[in-house]
């Protein structure tokens, strides 16, 4: 299983599982990122932070640490 951090720019993936606990997981879920949701990776900064994605029609920036907690398939 790979994480959102490993997805190439221009790919669309589906969320399989969220790792992490408490406030971190809650913050990810508050962005609308939940199991079964499709995420399109628009851009990744040169050092990999942040990861720019489109989720449910919204453009979001995720920290690299947060992206590593989102397992995709």
**pLDDT of 3-35, one tens digit each?**
999 999 999 999 999 998 899 899 999 999 999
Q: Which of the four pLDDT bands, split at 50, 70 and 90, describes residue 55? A: very high
Structural domain of residue 20, as residue ranges?
2-72
Q: Assess contact for 1 and 71: CB atoms under 8 A.
A: yes
* pLDDT of 73: 92
Task: Report how many domains make up the chain.
Answer: 1
Q: Is 69 exposed, middle or buried (0-12, 13-18, 19+ CB in 10 A)?
A: buried
Q: For position 10, which CATH number holds?
A: 2.30.30.90
Q: Assess contact for 64 and 5: CB atoms under 8 A.
A: yes
The DSSP letter of residue 60 is: E
- The answer to whether the bond into 70 is cis (omega within 30° of 0) is no
The average pLDDT across 33-55 equals 94
Q: Which of the four pLDDT bands, split at 50, 70 and 90, describes residue 47? A: confident
Token pair for 71: 């397992």
The average pLDDT across 35-54 equals 94
* pLDDT of 48: 78
């Amino acid at each position: 299983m790979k994480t959102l951090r490993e997805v190439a720019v221009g790919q669309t993936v589906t969320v399989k599982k969220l790792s992490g606990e408490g406030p971190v997981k809650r913050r990810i879920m508050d962005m609308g990122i939940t199991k079964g949701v499709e995420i399109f990776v628009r851009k990744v900064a040169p050092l990999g932070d942040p990861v720019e994605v489109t989720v449910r029609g919204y453009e979001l920036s995720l920290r690299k640490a947060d992206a590593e907690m989102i397992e995709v398939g």
